[in-house]
Amino acid sequence: MKMVFRWFGEGNDFIPLEHVKQIPGVEGIVWALHDIPVGEEWPLERIKEVKLQAELHDFNIDVVESVNIHEDIKLGLPTRDFYIENYKKTIERLAQVGVKVICYNFMPVFDWTRTELFKELEDGSTALFFEKAKITNIDPIELVKEIAENVSLTMPGWEPERLKYLTKLFDLYKEVTEEDLWKNLHYFLEQIIPVAEENNIKMAIHPDDPPFSVFGLPRIIINEDNIQRFLKLVDRPANGLTLCSGSLGANPNNNVAEMVRKFADRIHFAHIRNVRTYENGDFIETSHRSSDGTVDILSIMKAYHDIGFTGYARPDHGRHIWDEKCRPGYGLYDRGLGIMYLWGIWDSLERLKQGEKQCYQSMEI
């Protein structure tokens, strides 16, 4: 397992890389050019700048997250071919600096949806929260305004140039069904996967967050059956997954550990996040510790260990703790704690594998 850490770039993150360097076992940063509008080509000189910044701290930039898909591609509009060609050029440029994995998603309009960014937990920390009743009764434009008032830095999937056209986007999606979205995703993959293969890059789709329809928008990467269907659209090793335990775990019916075992050879990137779900459909993000949420992180890590996972993994969203000033979900402290929890499980499994069971007689996994 190669541990990496998401970083939003100089001037767009509260966290300096020298602090990330102090977290044991982190090999690289997960990055993007967040100021480049969705659909535009990424300039090679800008890509090289990030590589230089990372190398100053001995980090790799093997994984890029949020090379987002233009809405015209998802909608299947005639203009999609222009944006697909731009995407191909970006893949080729990323390959020039050694990128191995591109994380992306195919969610209409929003990359992720929450109703509250700093919901207080019992211990006084705060976390991202989803309230189902509020989503049902609020105008999405009003939700966007409410969230924007609480964030000073750009957030992937909530870029200003996209959000100012929300009304138009919702109108365009009125006639788009889930089957339409599947068809448009297939069209995209058929053109992109061969380019990724030629450049030794693996494409890793992120599940929909949350894994069910929000505001009436179609969602398709939501469960085991749909992931299986996705992988068969273009059944090639380069067409793979960013398996996110938190996104999928927001639906209690999803067994993420089982998915790790089933899709083992197609998981190129692992997002490890815990959430606590409620019977009314609400959920809140928690610490990575299994007992804090309803996602069985311990079983998920054992599944990764059992399959001999050698891909990239990162602690996904964390709480906001110790009065840290940070981007919602992306503080340094709780993600650092999360990494040490994940390494603790992994190291214990390694010891068990090596036969040193006498140290773990009371440990049941």
Q: Which domains does the chain have, with CATH numbers?
A: 2-360 (3.20.20.150)
Catalytic residue among 72, 317, 320, 333: 317
- What whole-number distance in Å separates Cα of residue 77 and Cα of residue 73? 6
104 is catalytic: no
139 is catalytic: no
Rg (CA), the chain: 20
pLDDT score recorded for residue 141 = 75
330 is catalytic: yes
Strands (E), 289-346: 312-315
- What whole-number distance in Å separates Cα of residue 112 and Cα of residue 30? 18
Catalytic residue among 70, 104, 209, 271: 271
Is residue 222 classed as helix, strand or coil in its secondary structure? Answer: coil
Q: Does position 359 have pLDDT exceeding 60, yes or no? A: no
Catalytic residue among 72, 244, 282, 292: 244
Choose between 11 and 303: higher pLDDT: 303
316 is catalytic: yes
Catalytic residue among 62, 111, 316, 334: 316
Q: What is the pLDDT of residues 136-191, one digit of tens each?
A: 888 887 777 777 666 666 666 566 566 677 888 889 999 999 999 999 999 999 99
Catalytic residue among 330, 333, 334, 341: 330
| Average model confidence (pLDDT) across the chain | 93
288 is catalytic: no
Q: What is the mean pLDDT of residues 85-96?
A: 98
326 is catalytic: no
Contact residues for 73 (Cβ-Cβ < 8 A; gap 6+): 80, 83, 84, 184, 187, 188
Catalytic residue among 62, 83, 173, 206: 206
Q: Does position 217 have pLDDT exceeding 80, yes or no? A: yes
pLDDT score recorded for residue 301 = 98
Q: What is the pLDDT of residues 27-57, one digit of tens each?
A: 999 999 999 999 999 999 999 999 999 999 9
pLDDT score recorded for residue 303 = 98
Alpha carbon of 283 to those of 103, 104, 117, 254, 342: distances in Å? 24, 23, 12, 14, 22
Q: What is the mean pLDDT of residues 82-93?
A: 98
Tell which residue, 252, 211, 246, 249, has the closest CA to residue 230: 211
pLDDT score recorded for residue 137 = 84
The pTM of the full predicted model, rounded to 2 decimals, is: 0.93
pLDDT score recorded for residue 214 = 92
pLDDT score recorded for residue 136 = 87
Percentage of the chain exceeding pLDDT 70:
92
